[in-house]
């Protein structure tokens, strides 16, 4: 389900698809020692930082980062869009797309016109989805956008279950937290 949604929003020529998803026949691993042979897919970006090799050092082709520069640019684009400087917002998004490794056409595009604040937010949401696929940022972004009322007719809630049951978007407080806090009544 996640892959099919991801593939629907990715354009065929977006190089981030090939850098993110492992398809049948692709090699992967620190030294490309594994080949995906089954009719399945995997994620290149998966990096279990908690698994260490016997020497105590994590070996991966992916450097661990707390925050990527692209995430900073997307947050700046959101801020510029909110304060009414859409040209700057679009410039930040295009900086992500103009990297040599991505080299995608600038916004606005035919699929993502940027003539209004809502249309720019749609481009921001799209760029966040394709740039950070499988980096565990999506749920946090969706929750933040949901809380701040960023979903609209042009940018609908992407999770149908929550769109039909908005009260389900609230996460419960873990029982160990309520048990450890005497000020919370049962």
pLDDT digits (tens, 9 = 90+) for 142-160: 888 888 889 888 888 887 7
Residue 121, C-beta contacts closer than 8 angstroms, at least 6 positions apart: 78, 81, 150, 155
Residues of the domain holding 22: 1-64
Residues 85 and 53 in one domain: no
Q: Are 58 and 52 in contact (CB under 8 A)?
A: yes
d(CA 87, CA 51): 43
Going by pLDDT thresholds of 50, 70 and 90, the confidence category of residue 90 is very high
pLDDT band at 11 (very low <50, low <70, confident <90, very high): low
More confident residue, 43 or 179: 179
Res. 111: pLDDT tops 70: yes
DSSP category for residue 171 = P
Query: Per residue in 28-68, pLDDT tens?
Result: 776 777 777 776 667 666 544 444 454 444 555 555 556 78
C-alpha 90/C-alpha 121 separation (Å) is: 10
Candidate ranges 57-61, 115-119, 165-169; pick with highest mean pLDDT: 115-119
| Domain count along the chain | 2
**44 within domain boundaries:** yes
Examine residue 151 and state whether it is found in any structural domain, yes or no: yes
Is the whole model's pTM more than 0.85, yes or no? no
pLDDT of residue 75: 95
Assess if residue 160 is contained within a domain.
yes
Mean pLDDT, rounded, for 101-114: 93
Task: Verify that 76 and 60 share a domain, yes or no.
Answer: no
- Considering the domain architecture, whether residues 100 and 131 belong to the same structural domain is answered as yes
Write down which residue in 19, 49, 64 finishes a domain.
64
In a shared domain, residues 40 and 75: no
Same structural domain for residues 56 and 89? Answer: no
């Amino acid at each position: 389900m996640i892959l099919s949604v991801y593939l629907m929003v990715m354009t065929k020529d977006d190089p981030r698809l090939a850098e993110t998803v492992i398809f049948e026949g692709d090699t992967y691993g620190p030294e490309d020692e594994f080949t995906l042979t089954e009719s399945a897919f995997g994620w290149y970006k998966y990096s279990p930082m908690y698994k260490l090799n016997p020497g105590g050092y994590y070996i991966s082709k992916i450097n661990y980062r707390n925050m990527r520069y692209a995430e900073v640019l997307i947050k700046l684009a959101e801020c510029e869009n909110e304060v009414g400087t859409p040209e700057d917002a679009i410039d930040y998004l295009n900086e992500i797309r103009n990297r040599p490794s991505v080299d995608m056409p600038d916004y606005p595009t035919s699929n993502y016109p940027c003539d209004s604040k809502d249309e720019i937010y749609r481009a921001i949401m799209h760029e966040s989805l394709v740039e950070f696929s499988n980096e565990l940022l999506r749920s946090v972004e969706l929750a933040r956008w949901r809380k701040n009322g960023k979903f609209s007719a042009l940018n609908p809630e992407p999770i149908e279950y929550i769109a039909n049951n908005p009260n389900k978007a609230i996460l419960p407080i873990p029982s160990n937290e309520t048990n450890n806090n005497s000020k919370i009544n049962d």
